[in-house]
Chain A
Amino acid sequence: MAITSEPLKDLSVAMVTEPVTMAQWLLIAPVVWCLLVGAVLLMLRKHTWLQPLIAIPALAVLCLLDGLLLAHVMVSGPLTMTMGSWLPPFGISFTTDSLGALFALTSALVALAAGVFGRTDVDDTGRRYGFYPFVLLMMAGVSGAFLTGDIFNLYVWFEVLLIASFGLLVLGSERAQLDGGAKYAFLNLIATTLFLVATGYLYGLFGTLNMADIIVKAPELRSSAPLMTLVTLYLLAFGMKAAAFPVNFWLPASYHTPRLVVSALFAGLLTKVGIYALLRTLVMLFPFERTGLADIIAIVAAATMLSGVIGALAQNDIRRSLGFLIISGIGVMLAGLALGSAAGLSGTVFYAVHSMVVMAALYFAVGLAARINGGFTLSAGGGIYQAHAGLAFVTLALFFSVAGLPPFSGLWPKVILVKASLDVGAWWLAAAILVTGILTTVTVGRIWALAYWRPAPVDDLTRSASEHDAEPPQPVRLPRGAIAALAGLLLLTTAFGVWPEPLIRLSQDAAIGLLDPSAYVLSVFPGEVPR
């Protein structure tokens, strides 16, 4: 019983006939791997001890696959595989350039850290609810979104990651979680619906959903079709996903409610998928329309970063404060999108990678701190430095990184973006980035001073004094896995800060690939003459 393909008259008119290489399989491998492992974990949901033993190695393999993919894309340019062997644009293409592969690898690293951290943060109940299956399924969605070359398929992956994130958000079904989850779900579904409306409209105009095909067809349609409307819809939809200023209320309403490891995962990944989609649609597909919208995007960017950091400054709950800092970072990324130059876009890409790593690490650090003094409130906090000086210093390093102070990774993208803004004379955008940096420093300085540096509140001290015969608080031991996850991410952000050249080069490569997608188009349609 040999497997043979169906004999058709002439396959070459409808199907890809040349053999597919293993390198092309790397494109789909992260998604399929996550789906399959997620399914296996779901079947073994009752065996809670087995879950992390399967999931963590699986996430490590995901990192390896994404790393191989990035290495391959860097060496030999964009890569395409069209599903089911149908010829593009009829088959669904997975296409990736260095941008998609870089984001996929970073997200996989963050997910691996979250998996390791989750081993100590998620108890048996959480595992029975399906923490690890949901993480794997969410990673399938995230990887799919980063690697696909078809805009409707992008929508599908958005849905996959959204559904998995709903599950993660209400893990444990507490009252506050359901409240946050409802807001998150409702506002995200509006954004998804807008995305779907825009995509339906795009299909009506272009008759195709393949991104490379859209790039080819856009110039001739530009004079007759209302592309500006379409692009504005995409800006609104993805702006909502990315938590840009006037449409970002879902983020502070929900990100402080789930388990810490889930917050960390969301903070690292979800908004960046929105930024990625903005980069793909606005810069690669419709660069002319983006130029028309540049002023609006710049205003939104400045408003997002300033409102975010001011919101962060006003909070008393550290987790809420971090949620607003994510928004502020999104504003900085949007600044590069508004500039649209190679330098600006490379700043955005670099900042996105930095933000994925640092925001996840910050949530880990705050979660560990809460384990020491049992809360996230600033007014009642304190005493972390006394109890665990190492954790206090690690958090300080991460705070430096998020504020953009050397020697950590936050510095370089801000330098790139400020320089790029000054190059085109957008001094106010540069000023907004710098003011945001100063305010962020104030915010994180306040958190560190109140929750970490100052001694534990007096009543706690007297209680412990009476219990331990007036000895200072005992040093706390933290779970080793959690420390390893935190240390890994800290190492990454330090490495990006001290030795930024490889990442800068990669981001520039990604930015150039966005601005001149001819290699992308050629990888989907060999022989097609790009615009």
Chain B
Amino acid sequence: MRTVIFRTVAPYLTSLMVLFSIFVLLRGHNEPGGGFIGGLIAASAFAIYGIACGVAPVRRAIHFHPMAIAAFGLFLSGMAGVLSIFVSRSYMSGLWTSVHFFGNWIDLSTVLIFDIGVYLVVVGAITSIALALEERDRD
């Protein structure tokens, strides 16, 4: 699989796919998309990078161990639900607020935090599996 063309294109492809995955994550609340599908896109981006350039560069590029990323996502999702304790509502109640940002009102919510957590869980878990499989392939 390591042709010159593939190796040259893979980094651009990967960065585009990661960017797209973040776009999908953020549009997910009101339109098709969200953390899960975004995470899958990002994980396949890392998988492609791994196929093209080997597993070690991917591990270097994402810096943290994929399982640690997944764990952080789990923590984030769990904490997103806990915030509602401060307003005396049930676990996982959605809380909303708006911030003024460069002339636009942007809605922020605990739901978004939860979704980012899901994104990280999926990225971490699937990347971890994909990289492990790619490593086995070369042995």
Contact = CB atoms under 8 A, between A and B. Distances in A.
Interface stretch (B1-9, B30-38, B50-58, B84-92): B84-92
A32 interface: yes
A247 B100 CA distance: 61
B91 A28 contact: yes
Given A36-B78, A40-B75, A3 B95 contact: yes
A83 B95 contact: no
Contacts of A25: 85, 91
A3 B91 contact: no
B132 to A, nearest CB: 13
Given A5-B95, A42-B70, A42-B71, A36 B79 contact: yes
Contact of A81 (B67, B91, B99): B91
Contact of B93 (A2, A36, A42, A84): A84
Contacts of B79: 36
B11 interface: no
A126 B70 CA distance: 20
B108 to A, nearest CB: 9
B87 A5 contact: yes
A119 to B, nearest CB: 21
B99 A1 contact: yes
B97 interface: yes
A39 interface: yes
Nearest to B69: A43
A459 to B, nearest CB: 43
B88 A20 contact: yes
A221 B61 CA distance: 58
Q: Which 5 A-B pairs have the closest CB atoms?
A: A42-B71, A19-B88, A39-B75, A39-B74, A85-B93
Contacts of B78: 32, 35-36, 39
B82 interface: yes
Nearest to A84: B92
B96 A81 contact: no
A84 B75 contact: no
A20 B71 contact: no
Nearest to B117: A39
B96 A84 contact: no
Interface residues of A, number: 31
Interface in A1-36: 1-6, 16, 19-21, 24-25, 28, 32, 35-36
Contacts of A85: 84, 89-90, 93
Contacts of B85: 25
A270 B46 CA distance: 37
B90 A40 contact: no
A358 B88 CA distance: 40
A217 interface: no
Given A6-B96, A20-B89, A42-B70, 9 more contacts: A5-B87, A19-B88, A24-B90, A39-B72, A39-B74, A42-B68, A43-B68, A46-B65, A83-B91
6 contacts: A3-B95, A5-B89, A5-B96, A40-B71, A83-B81, A84-B90
Nearest to A6: B96
B28 interface: no
A82 interface: yes
Nearest to B79: A36
A36 B67 CA distance: 15
A1 B96 CA distance: 10
A72 interface: no
Contacts of A82: 90
A332 B87 CA distance: 47
Contacts of B93: 5, 84-85
B89 A19 contact: yes
A39 B82 CA distance: 15
A204 to B, nearest CB: 26
A45 interface: yes
B72 A43 contact: yes
Contacts of B86: 3
Contacts of B91: 25, 28, 32, 81, 83-84
Interface in A427-456: none
Contacts of B95: 3-5
Interface string A61-83: 00000000000000000000111
Given A4-B97, A5-B96, A42-B67, A32 B89 contact: no
Contacts of B88: 19-21
A35 B79 CA distance: 10
Contacts of A28: 91
Interface string A102-142: 00000000000000000000000000000001000000000
Contacts of A4: 95-97
A3 B99 CA distance: 11
Max chain B Cβ within 10 angstroms of own Cβ: one of A3, A19, A24: A3
Contacts of A5: 87, 89, 93-96
Contacts of A38: 71, 74
Contact of B82 (A3, A24, A32): A32
A45 B67 contact: yes
Contacts of B96: 3-6
B74 A45 contact: no
A389 B79 CA distance: 49
Max chain B Cβ within 10 angstroms of own Cβ: one of A1, A16, A24, A39: A39
